[in-house]
Structure 1
Amino acid sequence: MAQETLYEISGKTETTTYTAAISYYESLAKSYPKSKLLTYGSTDFGKPLHLLVLSNDKIFDPIAIRKSNKRILLFNNGIHPGEPEGIDASMMLARDLLKTDKLPKDVVICIIPVYNIDGSFNRSSTSRANQNGPTAYGFRGNSKNLDLNRDFIKTDSKNSAAFQLIFNTWQPEIFVDTHTSNGADYQYVMTLIPTQKDKLNTILSGYLTKTLVPDLYAAMDKKGYLMIPYVNSIGETPETGITGFIESPRYSTGYTTLHNTIGFMPETHMLKSYDLRVDATYKLLKTYIDIVERDAKIIGENKRKADEFVAAQKDFPLDWKLNKSEVNDLTFKGFEAGQKPSEVSGTDRLYYDRTKPFTKTIKEWNKFEPAISIQKPIAYIIPKAWDKVIALLKLNNVKIESLKNDVKIAVESYNISDLKTATRPYEGHYLHSGVKVNPVAQTLQYYAGDYVVYANQKTNRYIIETLEPQATDSYFNWNFFDSILDQKEHYSAYIFEDTATELLKNNPELKAKLEARKSADAEFAKNGAAQLDFVYKNSDYYEKTHNRYPVARLVTDVKLDLK
């Protein structure tokens, strides 16, 4: 008989520890043959990620499960261990499904008990200053002080690599990542962030918006938990209106979108009592199971069609912007907000009056449009030196081939013409943004073992949104290629002055180009050092690889001799 959880034993005031959670799941797996506890990879804390699999047919091989046309539903818990509702809810839900023999017929349920193992050991009752319980909980950062919900592309943590191994081994159709909110006060216990509808493949988006999300809302309303979209206020209070959340691939649901998996971040409200938050999470997770079981066939068919569509898709957005002219009305249940003197500073402070609940119509902006788009190449060519890039592509089920022999290939390569770089570190990186590229057609030398990635795969979105430098969370923006921004050779001005003089004498085109620049730019015309540098950078002496993005685009369908 499966034991009670620490949450239940404590009177619904405590959350489990990592050690107790794994022991609990080990006990479940021993007691019930329809469950199996697996381990994957390692984490920065030195422990593997666990995955509990619940299978009514007692089949625990993901390939066999997909061949039998069953859906795979993945729950991820404790990415932020201070937001532990999903940890406790999943433990009870798994036990109850097994104990009552109520596992779905056409859905295999996968549960990551605690993703941020590191943070779960860093336990206190104070790190989330705005949260109402439980009595103690884990810390947001892992043992490298990384927020793991920003690490799904850069993969600085072993946790992320282990998660990607799980995700790409099991390939779930639906993914749910459990969280707790911060921010405004309002009446709802549960808010919901679905995969942003405009970023999702249109086949999947139609089902998400017309069926899945409305049915989740209706079912939770019947279960006593009226939901609302995540309250992403444009002003100080929700009455000013809210916007949709645009999750880039650094986030878990932005990452799963790259693989045509519909993702969700349920966010319980931090100020509601812990027992209500766990109960709402339990009921929501059970609702996902019921709907995925009901719609198993259509969900599978949609995923198959979406994968086929993406493999043949030609144009891909790289960045998104909010359409501020398209707005919806949303019924919202909040509390009256006001100002009163602060007892700390004496200045006015915001407060919410829970004795004054209201129901009002507020504005919601949730239409996003592409800000930058590109047409995919036939393939990308990646020199073998960039091994972390290759490892991550392989981890994400990208098919990669390599050149058999040294060869020169006509490609389109990018010169990085402009970029902005953050002045302070963000998650261990000085993140780039606002990248501008200058495409150049040229023939480059490649060598045996260099890699070729064809853009005809169901993983095209992952390929393109990591390899195109202008994409929000590209490998380039996460500093994978920063060494190309360093100039390795230069010149001594007093020597190069004579060389530049000869260059201008022997190259009328270069001379004309210099004069045109001087005529167009008065400051440049006064700056002798700038003019000398101009001659240098427009000569054969200037290194060709400076600012040249090393991942080239094959835009002509030439036959390559591949391994």
Structure 2
Amino acid sequence: MIRSIALFLCLLTVSASAQKIRYELSQGKETATYAEIIAFYQQLDRQYEEATLIEVGPTDAGKPLHLFLLDPDRQFTPTADKVTLLINNGIHPGEPEGIDATMLWVRDMLNRKTLPSNVLLAIVPVYNIGGCLNRGVSRVNQNGPLEYGFRGNARNYDLNRDFIKTDTEDARTWQTMFQTYKPHVLIDNHTSNGADYQHIMTYFATLKDKLHPAVSGYMAQTLQPELDKALTAKGFEPVPYVNNFSDTPESGFPAFNDSPRYSSGYAALFNCIGFVVELHMWKDYPSRVRGTLAFMEEALRIVSRDATLLIRNKQNADEAVSKQTEFPLTYKLDRTKSKLITFNGYEAKYKPSDVSSLKRLYYDRSAPFTKQIPYQNSYVPDVTVRKPKAYVIPQGWTAIIDRLKRNGAQLRPLSADSLMTVQAYYIEDAKTTQRPFEGHYVHSNVVVRKESLPIQFYKGDYVVSTDQPANRYVVETLEPQGIDSFFAWNFFDSILGQKEHFSAYIFEDTAAELLKNDPALRKKLEERRATDTAFANDANAQLEFVYRHSTYYEKTHNRYPVYRLER
């Protein structure tokens, strides 16, 4: 009996010790390692029936992505009467306060039995596993912890640029998880960079002008104001994410334009409210952890209180998007609209550099100030498109088809070969980056021309209807002018390369015969020569002109292979 009691006390001591995390044991100087993070959640899984830790899929690091689910009813699946709150940690593991704050948070909620009954809480303990394993001190502008992970994943991708293109196993698995649990609210925990100021807490929400009004109205008029008030009461007066890298943020700044490549921009495509929480990098680490914890606590409180409203808002938005006809593809800042916000900063000053002896910037913490500064938070559509009845995609474009399916889009394969009259885009012009960005030479400012054509499609090609809740994802990725469209991310670059051409010494005779038999073409050529001196003096250019206006010129050159079915 004595031996049994001793063993029980030993196990109890081990269990209690395992509840303490590295952050606490180091008095706030250190952050958990990957192994410690997973072991911690595995222990909570074993200890509490209201919690479960699951593997949702592979990552580039060769280790599975984990999801920790909290549900007092022990169902751990989305239900009609529960709001789903998704917490994403460690997308940039060098910004680890979310990792540690969430561990403290869930442990205490489970110990105290304070989980709300109407919320399914889904937590990614650490998203970027490869970056978490790559521990070091790479963030030179950050005040602690002593060691932390790296921004890039196992293949050096920034996962917060990969939510549309999904080059990584990490992003593909994350999308599958997101579409399975369909969260109403997303919190993505980060650390800021940029200027110095007094605020510990900054954050940005999904741009209100991008969300459907059924969702954005509640977010902008209720959720954010109440969050800000509660955070201020807890000593973390927030300010919008300081999207200003000039010397003086007090001159004002705009809201961050979170396109769908980012977590909150991706979430907005599915009528999910997104928050990117950015604690100030130069505040001490315990303050950053406490601030992140406060944000999650208050968000959960309000989300639980308004669960019925959040669920209804998302349902209404999903239904409305199914019927929506006009879709913005790009947005621009409305500089005519601005509001004043309270900004607690430090005076920006200059002094000689000890490195270069030239003038350098510094922020004088002995000279704090409070000012009302302009904040621009209104964006308006720049390029807008009217949706077709459906898109038709040849089955060979498997990378596109796989992404659509993974994101919940409904696709119907053709049951037989079909000749259809469709609208086809031709890419007339685009600007392309000179250096790769996240592995891609990104296209922007895309100019298209539309033609109505009969196209032969085949059994197994796909029709994507535009009467579904995933409409925004479908339209914004398939329309080539979208800022984060699949065309922008180079998935269709093979169409930009000409596959056939002519040998001039042979085509000379063919071109002459074409002009002889086609007076209209001859007239076009002569008109071009009359108005373009360089063209008139360039024999090869004139042959190219005739070739491009002939039946020999390949029909698929620059023709975008996603077609619009208008009726």
The reply to whether TM is greater than 0.5 is yes
1:482-561 → structure 2 map (5 Å cutoff): 482-556=493-567
The residue that corresponds to 2:134 in the other structure is 122
Opposite residue 535 of structure 1, the aligned amino acid is: V
Determine which of 283, 303, 322 is the counterpart of 1:311. 322
1:357-436 → structure 2 map (5 Å cutoff): 357-436=368-447
Determine which of 117, 120, 123 is the counterpart of 1:111. 123
2:351 equivalent to 1:340:
yes
4+ long deviations beyond 4 Å = none
The residue that corresponds to 1:172 in the other structure is 183
SS at match of 1:29: helix
Distance in 2, matches of 1:235 and 1:141, equals 26
State the shift of 1:520 in Å: 2.9
The residue that corresponds to 1:201 in the other structure is 212
1:209-224 → structure 2 map (5 Å cutoff): 209-224=220-235
Distance in 2, matches of 1:517 and 1:370, equals 37
2:67 equivalent to 1:55:
no
Distance in 2, matches of 1:395 and 1:41, equals 13
The residue that corresponds to 1:34 in the other structure is 50
The residue that corresponds to 2:30 in the other structure is 14
> Normalized against structure 1, the TM-score is what?
0.97
SS at match of 2:372: strand
2:172 equivalent to 1:161:
yes
Aligned residues of 2:57 and 2:65 also touching (Cα < 8 A): yes
Distance in 2, matches of 1:441 and 1:517, equals 26
Opposite residue 41 of structure 1, the aligned amino acid is: G
Distance in 1, matches of 2:479 and 2:77, equals 35
State the shift of 1:526 in Å: 2.0
- What are structure 1's unaligned runs of at least 5 residues? 557-563
Cα deviation per residue 1:295-353 (whole Å; 9 max; x = unaligned)? 00110110000001100000000001111121111111001110100000000000011
Aligned residues of 2:89 and 2:127 also touching (Cα < 8 A): yes
The residue that corresponds to 1:43 in the other structure is 59
Distance in 1, matches of 2:530 and 2:64, equals 64
Aligned residues of 2:334 and 2:378 also touching (Cα < 8 A): yes
- What are structure 2's unaligned runs of at least 5 residues? 1-14
Aligned residues of 1:233 and 1:240 also touching (Cα < 8 A): no
Cα deviation per residue 1:225-271 (whole Å; 9 max; x = unaligned)? 10000011263211221110001111111111111100010100000
The residue that corresponds to 2:155 in the other structure is 144
Residue 234 and residue 122 in structure 1: after superposition, are their counterparts in 2 closer, same or farther (change >3 A)? closer
Determine which of 84, 89, 97 is the counterpart of 1:72. 84
Cα deviation per residue 1:108-146 (whole Å; 9 max; x = unaligned)? 100000000000011012x00100000000000011110
Cα deviation per residue 1:204-231 (whole Å; 9 max; x = unaligned)? 1111110010010001011111000001
Opposite residue 42 of structure 1, the aligned amino acid is: P
SS at match of 1:338: strand
Aligned residues of 1:411 and 1:554 also touching (Cα < 8 A): yes
Distance in 1, matches of 2:488 and 2:184, equals 29
State the shift of 1:421 in Å: 1.1
SS at match of 2:301: helix
Aligned residues of 2:209 and 2:379 also touching (Cα < 8 A): yes
2:305 equivalent to 1:289:
no
State the shift of 1:522 in Å: 2.5
Determine which of 312, 337, 340 is the counterpart of 1:301. 312
Q: Indicate the RMSD between aligned Cα atoms, in angstroms.
A: 0.9
SS at match of 2:399: helix
The residue that corresponds to 1:268 in the other structure is 279
Distance in 2, matches of 1:202 and 1:528, equals 58
Determine which of 260, 266, 269 is the counterpart of 1:255. 266
Opposite residue 495 of structure 2, the aligned amino acid is: I
Opposite residue 54 of structure 1, the aligned amino acid is: L
The residue that corresponds to 1:559 in the other structure is none
Distance in 2, matches of 1:521 and 1:368, equals 41
Distance in 2, matches of 1:54 and 1:199, equals 30
Opposite residue 374 of structure 2, the aligned amino acid is: K
SS at match of 2:490: coil
Distance in 1, matches of 2:158 and 2:28, equals 27
Aligned residues of 1:234 and 1:242 also touching (Cα < 8 A): no
Aligned residues of 1:234 and 1:241 also touching (Cα < 8 A): no
The residue that corresponds to 1:476 in the other structure is 487
Determine which of 361, 383, 388 is the counterpart of 1:350. 361
Aligned residues of 1:55 and 1:108 also touching (Cα < 8 A): yes
Opposite residue 101 of structure 1, the aligned amino acid is: K
Determine which of 453, 458, 461 is the counterpart of 2:472. 461
2:246 equivalent to 1:235:
yes
Cα deviation per residue 1:478-534 (whole Å; 9 max; x = unaligned)? 010110111000000111011011101111111122122223323222222111101
The residue that corresponds to 1:102 in the other structure is 114
Opposite residue 135 of structure 2, the aligned amino acid is: R
Opposite residue 479 of structure 2, the aligned amino acid is: E
Distance in 2, matches of 1:184 and 1:251, equals 22
State the shift of 1:383 in Å: 0.3
Distance in 2, matches of 1:208 and 1:520, equals 57
Distance in 2, matches of 1:498 and 1:423, equals 40
